[in-house]
A and B are shown apart, each in its own frame.
Chain A
């Protein structure tokens, strides 16, 4: 068990922001916590799951997670939902109205923005949601603050009967820093759901009287923000520039300009405009350093203050010291030398699929079939857009593949005349939002071939469980959805539902060929587990017999990272044409013995050697 789970009061720990949130949730007496995985938020629930005395679950998507938390709050329990930034788009329908109705037990939404866009499809600023949905926002700058603010968020939520957003970024979630853990869990009485239709049934007649109350709440929250000790002023001797900042950008400001006055906003929405006004009067120039959109800046300017922000700083990415320094020096009219040595010209190292990844088979098939529009989704299989497959044509949001493919089928243009349309989606993404697209396609008599890549894992985010894996967040056995039956129930004809072993390449290619030719929707379901999970069984490595390898390069097209180029030779064929031969080798440490590549090799040069006797080394101690 994780050491911090058993931490004593007043002990120091090295915790990531996500671990700190989990500890805080437990101490705050949270009784229900729900999330859908997503980088950089995934570890929040994984860590909450380690604590006793509270219920936690992987929900099927972020909207469901927030609704689960709302239900618990109405029963009087403290509840938490966690997600990555794009999860808020999915969940917003629920919280936008719950904010109007209010909450009973403290309700906290922890959202992790991927500032710097290291593993997401976009970079969006979740602080908009606080403004849009009339919810206060807390912005921790490091693990210690994440710990303190999450605990406070529950008090704030109950005091003002509002959902509270705790906005993290990658640079808080995944940074490990010192946290002084204070105490123990506080259990509080849970009154149970008190029926009150005028409050909880949001018909127009019931919702309307809540509107002025919500605006009043905004006002009282603004007063709280003015008085809050989370909005702190650090004085500084160099008053040429005063910084207003929030979240981890504060750390970068302090690092870069240790002598400048800084107003740090921990309760950043509603912004304490009076406090800001008085700060402005103490410095020559105001600069707002916020990641990523100019939200505070716009509000401060609207309040009649002169302020710099995105006129001198980038509107996207992290505002690291290396970004701040030149921008501020330029504003001060100082020169800035960059002393850094130039970077060596080097190859990139894009992520690849793993050795024996069950997605390799389907992509081998897709890259060998012509005339396809391949509409994609989000997961490890998105990597199919890259080398060597080049077999994915779109990716926007989770679950979009089936509906977009359907739309592309209905909206075919000249160049699509002879094309077949394929949607590629993973098990978790299908259950998250994809299956509605399938239902829609069936109902509206579409024609798309769906490749449902069931690797029994949320692979992309590190192998979490979902309703298709047979286990829950705690690793306990759970009911497992039957994808074939589900597809049939949604209306796909049983003849068009094909189960396939993705390692059987010839079958894989044949099936995709057949089904794309059909004039009706098909669903092809693969059945091998993600190679990084315990469900995968590692076997003895294969090897390439060098004297048998003809240099055709077929196996290399599979894209298994265990197979690499041994050497290249240019030969002249009888026709006089020169041709490059590519001889393959298999790295025995990387190969997992899945046998997928065997079928790509006509001369049968890929073989599994006889097991060797294990050499046991004995070390004597000198």
Chain B
């Protein structure tokens, strides 16, 4: 067991499954015997707002919040959100980014601009960034909701416990509540795990 605190930040937009992914990581860490805290800032997340979930685990966790510059891992479900939260990552950290772009209405109305090349901006920081199109993989597997499991698969080789443990937790969770989805989630996890090894830019726009 690691004797220091691991800080993981999961970010995205309301409705994308950020909180479910974070919950899965937190439960897995708890099962591994760690003390865990998980906190969300989800103002009015349901309605298209920003969601960020902090997960901290280790021998003993006090504050639930990850300080700026202290995250070990950043999981971005949307590329501009990954960019928004990048300063929370430590210089030696890893960013795992879904290349999906979602522009809010105020952008499409022309009041604000969406960055042209967010992946490029992420890369320019010199931080280890992995970016891939999780939606495309999910579509190939036939279910858009798999993005969640794909992202978890992608990050699974950067955790202080074996990727297999996270996978088993996810798949068994489905087997208990939605058995029909267990197999396809196992596939999604593996597909994500493969994609997570590819460094940006790939399919990045």
A-to-B contact residues, CB < 8 Å? 12, 14, 118-119, 142, 171, 174-178, 248, 251-252, 254-256, 320-322, 339-344, 346-354, 380, 383, 387-388, 460, 462, 532, 556, 559, 561, 564-565, 568, 589, 617, 619, 621
Q: Which residues of A contact B103 (CB under 8 A)?
A: 564
| Complex Cα spacing A387 to B184, Å | 40
**Which residues of the partner chain B approach A349 to less than 8 Å between Cβ atoms?**
13, 48-50, 104
- Inter-chain contact A352/B187, CB cutoff 8 Å: no
- State whether A251 and B62 are in contact (beta carbons under 8 Å apart), knowing that A118-B41, A176-B26, A619-B187 are contacts in the complex: yes
Q: Which residues of A contact B38 (CB under 8 A)?
A: 14, 175-177
User: Is there contact, CB below 8 Å, between B115 and A177?
Assistant: no
B2 at the interface (CB under 8 A from A): no
Contacts A177-B36, A556-B109; A343 near B87 (Cβ below 8 A): yes
**B47 interface neighbour in A14, A340, A343, A383, Cβ under 8 Å:** A383
Question: Which of B46, B63, B107 meets A252, CB within 8 Å?
Answer: B63
Contact of B43 among A12, A119, A251, A320 (CB under 8 A): A119
Task: Give me 7 A-to-B residue pairs in the complex whose CB atoms sit less than 8 angstroms apart, sorted by A's number.
Answer: A171-B65, A175-B39, A248-B64, A342-B87, A347-B104, A349-B104, A462-B46
Chain B residues, CB < 8 A from A462: 46
Distance (Å) between the CB of A570 and the closest chain B CB?
A: 12
CB neighbours of A174 from chain B (8 A): 39-40
- Taking chain A's interface residues, is the majority helix, strand, or loop, or is none over half, making it mixed? loop
Complex CA distance for A556 and B184, rounded to whole angstroms: 38
The answer to whether B113 touches A254, judged by C-beta atoms less than 8 angstroms apart, is no
Q: For the complex, give the distance between the alpha carbons of A332 and B37 in Å.
A: 30
A564 contacts B108, C-beta separation under 8 Å:
yes
CB distance from B65 to the nearest CB of A (A): 5
State which residues 16-52 of B face A: CB under 8 Å: 23, 26-27, 30, 35-50
The smallest beta-carbon distance between A41 and chain B, in angstroms, is 15
B136 within 8 A of A: no
Expressed in whole angstroms, the minimum distance between the Cβ of A37 and any Cβ of chain B is: 14
Q: Is B59 an interface residue (CB 8 A)?
A: no
> Of all chain B residues, which has the CB nearest A587?
B102
Apart from A14-B23, A348-B112, A351-B49: 12 A-B pairs, beta carbons within 8 A: A142-B64, A174-B40, A251-B64, A256-B63, A320-B67, A341-B86, A350-B106, A352-B47, A387-B111, A388-B105, A564-B105, A619-B141
- Within 8 Å by CB of A621, from B35, B37, B67, B183, lies B183
Contacts of A171 in B (CB 8 A): 39, 64-65
Q: Is B201 an interface residue (CB 8 A)?
A: no
**Would B83 and A347 count as touching, CB distance under 8 A?**
no
Query: In whole Å, how far is B111's beta carbon from the nearest beta carbon of chain A?
Result: 7
In the complex formed, the residue of B with least CB distance to A14 is B30
A515 to B115, CA, bound (A): 46
- B68 pairs with A322, CB closer than 8 A: yes
Q: Is the CB of A351 within 8 A of B13?
A: no
Answer yes or no: B160 CB below 8 A from chain A CBs. Answer: no
Complex CA–CA separation, A353 to B65 (angstroms): 29
Q: Which residues of A contact B44 (CB under 8 A)?
A: 119, 351, 460
Task: Please give the distance in Å from B84's CB to the nearest CB on chain A.
Answer: 5
**Which B residues, 91 to 111, have Cβ-Cβ distances below 8 Å to chain A?**
103-111
For A346, the closest partner residue in chain B by CB is B84
Known A119-B43, A321-B65, A350-B104; contact A344-B37, beta-carbon cutoff 8 A:
no
Chain A residue contacts of B184, Cβ below 8 A: 619
Judge whether B36 and A178 touch: CB under 8 Å: yes
Q: Which residues of A contact B80 (CB under 8 A)?
A: 346-347
Which residue of A118, A256, A320, A565 contacts B109 across the interface (Cβ within 8 Å)? A565
Contact present for B63 and A320 (CB under 8 Å):
yes
Complex contacts, B40 vs chain A, CB 8 Å: 174
Q: Which residues of B contact A380 (CB under 8 A)?
A: 47
B120 to chain A, nearest CB (A): 12
CA of A565 to CA of B110 in the docked complex: distance in angstroms?
9
Contact of B63 among A321, A388, A559, A621 (CB under 8 A): A321
**Closest approach, in angstroms, between the C-beta of B26 and any C-beta of chain A?**
6
Judge if B114 is at the interface, Cβ distance under 8 Å: yes
Shortest A559–chain B CB gap in Å is 7
B183 & A388 in contact (Cβ 8 Å cutoff): no
Least CB distance from B102 to A in Å reads 9
Assess the B47–A178 pair: CB atoms within 8 A: no
Residue B69 lies at the interface, judged by CB distance under 8 Å to chain A = yes
CB <8 Å contact, B84 and A343:
yes
Interface pair A561/B87, CB less than 8 Å apart: no
CB distance from B116 to the nearest CB of A (A): 12
What is the CA–CA distance of A351 and B68 in the complex, to the nearest angstrom? 24
Q: Which of A251, A255, A256, A344 has the most B CB atoms < 10 Å from its CB?
A: A344
Q: A176-B26, A589-B144 are in contact. Are A351 and B43 (CB under 8 A)?
A: yes
Question: B27 contacts which chain A residues (CB < 8 A)?
Answer: 14
B64 and A347 within 8 A (CB): no
A388-B109 in contact (CB<8A): yes
Q: Does B125 contact A (CB under 8 A)?
A: yes
- A145 CB to closest chain B CB, in angstroms? 12
Contacts of A561 in B (CB 8 A): 48, 105
Q: Closest CB-CB distance, B40 to chain A, in whole Å?
A: 6
Q: What residues of B have a CB within 8 angstroms of the CB of A251 in the complex?
A: 62-64
Report the separation of the CA atoms of residues A348 and B109 in the bound assembly, to the nearest whole angstrom. 13
Given contacts A383-B47, A619-B142, contact A341 B87 (CB under 8 A): yes
**Given the interface contacts A346-B84, A556-B109, does A177 sit within 8 Å of B64 by beta carbon?**
yes
Residues of A within 8 A of B68 (CB): 322, 340
